[in-house]
Amino acid sequence: MNLRKAKLSVALTVLVTVIAIVGVSCAKTEAPPTPAKWDKILIPVAANLSGPYGAQSQVVINGLTDCLGYVNEQGGVKGVPLEFVIRDTAGKPDNAMTLLTEFLAMKPRPALVSFLDSQDGVSLKQRFIEEKTINMMGIGSGPGLYPAGYTFAISTENGDLFGAFCEYIVEKEAPKKPKLGILTWDNVFGKVILEQRCLDYAKSKGVDIVSTQLFNVMDTTVADQLKKLKDSGAEWVYTNTLLIGPARINNDAITLGIQDKMKWGLVGTGISYNTMGLGKGMEGWIGPSPWASWDETNNQGIQVMRQQFEKNKREDFDKQNVYCGAFIAALLMKQTFEKVVDKYGWDGITGPNVLAVLEETKDFDAMGMTKISFSKEMRHGLFYKMYEMKQGKILPLTDWRQATHLK
């Protein structure tokens, strides 16, 4: 053994370890920034940026930051700018937990944070209650939101949107009883609409669910499932999937020659130009969406959003429904902080006060882009419009409607 070499390599190892420890210690003290009270209002945001959904999370982050630019141009919260502190959870719940402790150690302590993944919303739900800190999500899931605590979602819940879709097709097909086939992802997200509360509601509205088929996110074909749906007599097909999901169904339906023989529906958060781009001729697909469409160019909020989109030179991939949702979330945060300051003063920006203000939120419309009301029992939006994909555009079929909360 060469003793000098061995000692040198050990010294290097020790040095690297010391640097690593110092690095982590610095992380403790230097990041995230701790501004003086209140030269700016920090809102910590945690998302899965390095996992498989990173690109999708980036769209949400872009929507949030673009809206923040607009909000700060308009004077922020009574002259105080808002600022996001963006962190990566890498899709790991233990990272999310560590990030929450990091956020809570910030000075001044944030009253509102935003963990974008519904998985984190569920796993940290109890912590938000114990720490009296609001978590503002885009799309929340039932277990993350209820029983009502400190977590809020600006979207109408996907189960409720399925109920809204059922109501719409019953109305459209009346007096006939619509025969519906469900084709959705075999994961937590996709199977929300298969929960008993959703199936019972569909039945109570007169929808006959004739078949339920599942597929995996990575499956390259759904032809077998489509054949089964067709054989079961389904006239309508509904999918609670995003991006490639509806596009795959559409493309296989064209290959099988049944695309124009059946009617198609999807969850509103899945309605996007990307889906239309991936699917060939998705004409006629309909879905309930809690947020306005990019093509409602008369809508004031959409106009502002499009201006910010152009100004920040965003790419076509960002033209998604979730970008719009993120824009709405940032506007809601601004309004909420303003109301808290009005009611409780600058020293009153605390979790319980933000909670009280959010619970009083009635018909928040984000310049016409949505409609949200919260209450002591209600932690997510309930309003939606039905949209249709038509000639490369996403156009509204109805005005704002209120969905039933399927508890």
Partner 1 sequence: MQPCGTFSSDYAQDMAIIRTRTQWVLAIAGLIVLFTLPLYCNDPILSRINSLAIMIVAVLGLMILTGYAGQINLGQAAFVCVGAYSSALMVTRLGLSFWVAMPLSGVSAGVVGLIFGLPSLRVKGFYLAMTTLAAQFIIPTLIAHVRTDITGGGNGLIVPPPYLGKEPLNTQTEMFFVIIPVVVILTFVAKSLVRGPIGRSFVAIRDNELAAESMGINVFRYKLLAFFICSFFAGISGSLWAHWLRLVHYDLLTIMESVWYLGMMIIGGMGSITGAIIGPIFVYGLDQVLTWVAHAAGDMFAGVPATLPAAIRLVVFGIIIILFLAFEPRGLNHRWEVFKAAYRLTPFSY
Residues that bind partner 1 (CB under 8 A): 1-3, 6-7, 9-10, 13, 17, 20-21, 23-28, 30-33, 47, 49-50, 54-55, 57-58, 61-62, 85-88, 90, 93-95, 97-98, 101-102, 104-105, 119, 122-123, 125-127, 130, 142-143, 187-188, 191
**Distance between CA atoms of residues 351 and 341, nearest Å:** 13
Q: Given the complex with partner 1, which of 47 and 330 has the nearer CB atom?
A: 47
**Beta bridge partner(s), residue 86:** 45
What's the min distance (Å) between Cβ of 385 and partner 1? 28
**Distance between CA atoms of residues 308 and 327, nearest Å:** 10
| Residue given tokens 């009301």 in the structure block | 373
Helices then strands, counting H and E runs in the chain, come out as 14, 14
| Residue given tokens 């020293």 in the structure block | 347
What's the min distance (Å) between Cβ of 317 and partner 1? 11
What's the min distance (Å) between Cβ of 93 and partner 1? 5
Asked if residue 282 lies in contact with residue 274, where contact means CB atoms within 8 angstroms, the answer is no
Q: Given the complex with partner 1, which of 302 and 329 has the nearer CB atom?
A: 329
Q: Find the helix or strand (DSSP H, E) in which 202 lies.
A: helix 196-204
Q: Given the complex with partner 1, which of 241 and 289 has the nearer CB atom?
A: 241
Asked if residue 114 lies in contact with residue 57, where contact means CB atoms within 8 angstroms, the answer is no
What's the min distance (Å) between Cβ of 278 and partner 1? 20
Q: Find the helix or strand (DSSP H, E) in which 196 lies.
A: helix 196-204
| Residue given tokens 């909420």 in the structure block | 336
What's the min distance (Å) between Cβ of 90 and partner 1? 7
Q: Is the dihedral of CA 268, 282, 393, 205 positive or negative?
A: negative
What's the min distance (Å) between Cβ of 71 and partner 1? 16
Q: Given the complex with partner 1, which of 43 and 341 has the nearer CB atom?
A: 43
**Distance between CA atoms of residues 407 and 379, nearest Å:** 12
**Distance between CA atoms of residues 287 and 384, nearest Å:** 10
Q: Given the complex with partner 1, which of 91 and 265 has the nearer CB atom?
A: 91
**Distance between CA atoms of residues 65 and 212, nearest Å:** 40
What's the min distance (Å) between Cβ of 20 and partner 1? 5
